[in-house]
Structure 1
Amino acid sequence: MEIIEFLRARVIDEKDRARYASEAHPTDSSWWAFTEPLTQGHYQATRRAFRHIDKHSPRQVIAECAAKTRIINVIEKQGQQLDPINACLVRCLAAPYQDHPDYREEWAPGM
Structure 2
Amino acid sequence: MNVVELVEFVEARLAEDERVAREAIVPDRPGTHWEWEARSDDGDPESPLWLRTVEEFPTTSGVGDLPGFPLGYECTAAPTPAMGHITRHDPDRVLREVEAKQAIIEKLREGDLRKFSGLLDAVKLLASPFSDHPDYQKEWAL
User: TM-score, normalization: structure 1?
Assistant: 0.77
Match of 1:17 among 20, 24, 40: 20
Give me the identity figure in percent. 31
TM-fit CA distance, 1:47:
5.8
Gaps of 5+ in 2: 47-76
The CA RMSD over aligned residues, in Å, is: 2.7
Pick which of 17-26 and 2-11 moved more.
17-26
CA distance in 2, matches of 1:23, 1:79: 41
Task: Mark the CA change 1:56 to 1:4 in structure 2 (over 3 Å): closer, same or farther.
Answer: same
Q: Does 1:55 align with 2:55?
A: no
- Which residue of the partner structure matches residue 133 of structure 2? 100
TM-fit CA distance, 1:50:
3.4
Secondary structure class of the residue paired with 1:2: helix
- Which residue of the partner structure matches residue 31 of structure 2? 27
Match of 1:66 among 99, 105, 125: 99
Q: Report the structure, 1 or 2, having the larger strand content.
A: 2
Secondary structure class of the residue paired with 1:94: helix
Instruction: Check the 8 A contact 2:21/2:95 in 1, yes or no.
Output: yes
Gaps of 5+ in 1: none
Task: Mark the CA change 1:51 to 1:87 in structure 2 (over 3 Å): closer, same or farther.
Answer: same
Work out the number of aligned pairs and report it. Answer: 106
Larger gyration radius, structure 1 or structure 2: 2
Matched residue type, 1:4: V
User: TM-score, normalization: structure 2?
Assistant: 0.62
Matched residue type, 1:23: V
Q: Report the structure, 1 or 2, having the larger helix content.
A: 1
